[in-house]
Structure 1
Amino acid sequence: MRAPRRSVVRRTVAVAAVLGTTLTLAACNQAAGGGAASSEEFPSKTVDIMVPAAAGGGWDSTARAMQKVIEDEDVVSEPVEVFNVEGGGGATGLSQLQKDEGDPHALMVTGLVMIGALEQASSPVSFEDTTPIATLTSEAEAFVVPSDSQYESIEDVVAAYEKDPASVTFGGGSAGGSDQLVVAELMKAAGADPSQMKYVGYSGGGEAIAGILSGDVAVGVSGVSEFESQIEAGDMRLLAISTAETQEVAGEEATTLQDAGYDIDFSNWRALVAAPGLSDDAKEQVTEVVDELHGTQGWKDALEANGWADFYKTGDEAQEYIDSEVDRVAALYEDLGL
């Protein structure tokens, strides 16, 4: 049976009431922390992946591997661009990301390096100023020297440091990051004083490699993948890796710090975050795209080619892990006197 006719006036009032309720609910949702509204499917324009460091490092290679797989596997229909923002161990890039609040197309590769750098610098920006999407990879840290170095083993380096900390200069990623942190843990495990460390932080992997090969620093420290080609070419000598489990590097099984007698099992991890203030719907859509990326054969091939371990977490699990790492690193820096 057809419903009775209503007057135009009553119909207008009803529509206005519904519209008013809808707007009120939307405003309440945003005020309660629901983030910026997302009324369109992701992506609706170019996806920008920021690397908050110079080209050539682990963040850079991760972002560019993601870009290649997304394009090769047709994960999204819109373009994906990667760009670099240097400075402050990632703090400069993180500050820039904040300006894109609510925009799911503004993404950034980050990880343990940034947590340490922000902690050491007492930065006004933090991981609370992002929307965590996923942890992606983990990787052993490598201790390397130029092929003509006087140091033949990691024990030689530790012995020289114990005798005179000023005689051994270490170099790697940004000061305060995972590269410096693993050196500090090594010296603590050896019974030496980590706070005496001389460390040079470079803004990107290319600069770090140049500094190591030129002799500006005595020992280089970074992710295995950043040094493997130089090790394979014979320009660098691998002294040890930081994980308890060994792996092949440049065709040979690597010595671990535990093999050398130091009780350390340390991995550097990387993650993807979005701008702060994303709505739940926008966060879910970005995560779905990263899920699809993670499931491709292209991404599995990238992990193998770069020697990265799959360290995939999303949603609450990713958020809780990153929060726990922020707390852990803060405690470590206090404990190590850094």
Structure 2
Amino acid sequence: MDHIFSGVFARATGANPDDLTYLPFAGGAEVVSAVLSGKAMVGISGYSEFSSQLSGGQLRAIGVSSRKASFGIPSIRDQGMQVDMANWRGVFTGKSVPAERQAAMVEAVRQATLHESWKSVLKQNHWDASWLTGKDFNEQIDFDQTTARVMVHLLKLKA
């Protein structure tokens, strides 16, 4: 997703995505190290990966890719570029699961999102809470898959 976001961001700024050199890393710690060492000019990762370097003054935030400002950092959209991309996780089940069982699973996950331990994990990791189910969740998946397909094509990536 970071590679796709970099291409979306480049296009929004009028830059040619072909001019970008994307360096893939296994995790955010490697991204931070590459930026601090000068191996990379910029880094894209979750806020929690950069938080200590941001608060320590070693890194400067350009913007967050979410639709709204987070952590006191303006969003890319707030800065005038029609770009946003959120990283989310989903819980899925097979089509053969009976509707009643699926509804019970959805309710169990919903209840878990209300638990104090989940709220603590959100805070600890600097995550934003979001909750989509049913039609809304399916529409989000469809939108994200379409965006990814278009960007993979435009960036000439191999899927």
Q: TM-score range by the shorter chain?
A: 0.7 to 0.9
3-state DSSP of counterpart to 2:89 = strand
CA spacing shift, 1:243–1:313, aligned 2, 3 Å: closer
Aligned position for 2:89 = 271
Pair 1:327 & 2:146 matched: yes
Deviations 1:94-126 (A, max 9, x none): xxxxxxxxxxxxxxxxxxxxxxxxxxxxxxxxx
For residues 235-274 of structure 1, the aligned pairs below 5 Å read 235-243=58-66, 245-248=68-71, 253-258=72-77, 260=79, 262-274=80-92
Amino acid at match of 1:263: M
Q: Equivalents in 2 of 1:242, 1:315: separation in Å?
A: 25
Aligned position for 1:287 = 106
For residues 112-151 of structure 1, the aligned pairs below 5 Å read none
Would you tell me which structure has more strand in proportion to its own residues?
Answer: 1
Deviations 1:53-83 (A, max 9, x none): xxxxxxxxxxxxxxxxxxxxxxxxxxxxxxx
Q: Equivalents in 2 of 1:291, 1:244: separation in Å?
A: 23
Amino acid at match of 1:279: V
Amino acid at match of 1:216: K
1:180: how far off? 1.8
Aligned position for 1:306 = 125
In the alignment, is the contact (CA less than 8 A) between 1:223 and 1:268 conserved in 2? no
1:221: how far off? 0.8
Mind listing any 5+ residue stretches in structure 1 that lack a counterpart?
1-176
Q: Equivalents in 2 of 1:319, 1:258: separation in Å?
A: 24
CA spacing shift, 1:195–1:185, aligned 2, 3 Å: same
1:194: how far off? 0.7
Mind listing any 5+ residue stretches in structure 2 that lack a counterpart?
none
Aligned position for 1:231 = 54
Aligned position for 1:214 = 37
Two-structure CA RMSD over aligned residues (Å):
2.7
**TM-score, with length taken from structure 2:** 0.77
Q: Equivalents in 1 of 2:19, 2:95: separation in Å?
A: 41
Aligned position for 1:317 = 136
3-state DSSP of counterpart to 2:11 = helix
CA spacing shift, 1:277–1:206, aligned 2, 3 Å: farther
Would you tell me which structure has more helix in proportion to its own residues?
Answer: 2
Deviations 1:191-229 (A, max 9, x none): 221122100111222332233333322211112222112
Deviations 1:21-74 (A, max 9, x none): xxxxxxxxxxxxxxxxxxxxxxxxxxxxxxxxxxxxxxxxxxxxxxxxxxxxxx
Q: Percent identity?
A: 26
Q: Identify the match of residue 185 of structure 1 among 8, 13, 22.
A: 8
In the alignment, is the contact (CA less than 8 A) between 1:189 and 1:263 conserved in 2? yes
In the alignment, is the contact (CA less than 8 A) between 1:184 and 1:194 conserved in 2? yes
In the alignment, is the contact (CA less than 8 A) between 1:240 and 1:257 conserved in 2? yes
1:259: how far off? 5.5
Aligned position for 1:97 = none
Count of paired positions = 156
Amino acid at match of 1:233: G
Pair 1:199 & 2:18 matched: no
CA spacing shift, 1:186–1:300, aligned 2, 3 Å: same
In the alignment, is the contact (CA less than 8 A) between 2:66 and 2:86 conserved in 1? no
Question: Which entry has the higher C-alpha Rg, 1 or 2?
Answer: 1
1:313: how far off? 0.9
Deviations 1:1-38 (A, max 9, x none): xxxxxxxxxxxxxxxxxxxxxxxxxxxxxxxxxxxxxx
1:265: how far off? 3.5
Q: Equivalents in 2 of 1:243, 1:218: separation in Å?
A: 21
